[in-house]
Amino acid sequence: MEYLEVQGGNPLRGEINISGSKNATFPILSAALLVKGRMHFSNVPKILDVLTFTKVLESLGVGVEEDTDGFTLDTSKDISSIKDSHPEEHNLRGTQTLLGALIGRTGEAKLSSLGGCNIGTRPIDLHLKGMQALGVDLKWEEGFLTAKVKDKLQGNLIYLDFPSVGATENIIIASTLAEGETIIQNGAREPEIRDLINFLNACGANIEMNGSGIIKIKGVNALKPADYSIISDRIEAATYLIMGIATRGDVKVRNCNPYYFEPVIMKLKEAGAEVDVYDKEVRGRFRDHIRGINVKTLPFPGFPTDVQPQMMAFLSRAEGTSVIIETIFENRFRVAEELTKMGANIKIEGNTAVITGVSSLNGANVNVPDLRGGAALLIAALSAEGTSRIYDPIHIDRGYENIIEKINKVGGIVERKAESRIL
């Protein structure tokens, strides 16, 4: 069994380059199915989830060529509308946007799952509502979601009860080649949504996003190939910024857009950290102490749920009491049990976590519950006294490119090891 051995107590100091966005890559590579031709995508993170997703694309008939900076996709050949289930795809959120992409490309789709971490329910009713509004028949058959365009994709006015990122992406992709105009009201506003729109517009789409949750898509007859560079990963940037401060260090995250994770920056300042913001860099430094604060997760531009576990680990050593309210996923507190093994004082009641800061954390053997929970355990282990073993690091591999190398480069001590267990 693999684990990460982490030596705690070493302040991280130095610069970390941020990779391309995991959550922007999936919808953009899915949207490429709407185009026929060869396209190169740069700044693509070489993480487990992305590598798995390219295998899914190959199974659908897409030609995939990997290079040092990304991938070239060849979508000129016939594309299959059926995606079979594979065990490694169970936690792959990226399969969600294949629904809209296959409907837009072939007029039908047959999907076995929509994937995602086990952090709570990911209701697909908004995805289905959007597809039906565009003229798609949907039903479940023997564990598969089957979708078929009744006559033709037709633009429509679609209101989302919640600004779901996945549903917004699916509707945008499916309606790009639909007849007429589609207007999404209360759509998601995340930077990854805008990046998807920028890519599609580069290919000849006609999509407007005004930042208020209203997205207008005027259908076009066809798209042309376009090379594209993925935006930086705001969650990775926030993770390393928190990590540097939590270890009482001084870390600068480079090649990022500070606006994309501004709520995290503001909360770190509120907690007493010194944070300097530049054009494409953010520097975070520990000063005298960290004090308890309150955090509430919200859709963008609010505090991102994908950074909540990392903030929980950070606040475990803050002075006083902190309160975190999770409004997006009900199982986002799974890492709390592992943090308590390291000495954290965390009480969970419903969607609220109350964290009473302790003076120090202790090294321990812990298990990664999910992707962002794994990042939280790394933060805790690096700031703890002694040695920790973090089991099931494959979850961390799903979302962070070269994370061990990046941490060790700025003074951390993390080593991947394996042990055999006798049954």
Tokens standing for residue 125: 């009713």
Alpha helices per DSSP H over 40-164: 48-59, 98-106, 125-133
The pairing of strands 157-159 and 181-185 is: parallel
- Angle, in degrees to the nearest 10, between helices 98-106 and 22-31: 10
Q: Which helix (H) or strand (E) holds 241?
A: helix 234-246
Cβ-proximal residues to 278 (8 Å cutoff; 6+ apart), any chain: 258
Tokens standing for residue 309: 């576990």
Structure-derived torsion over alpha carbons of residues 270, 274, 278, 280, reported in degrees to the nearest 10: -80
Catalytic site residue 203? no
* Nearest Cα residue to 303 out of 245, 256, 262: 262
What is the torsional sign of CA 5, 11, 15, 16? Answer: positive
**CA-to-CA distance for 349 and 96, rounded, in angstroms?**
31
Q: Which of 117, 165, 371, 404 is catalytic?
A: 117
Which amino acids are annotated catalytic?
Answer: 117
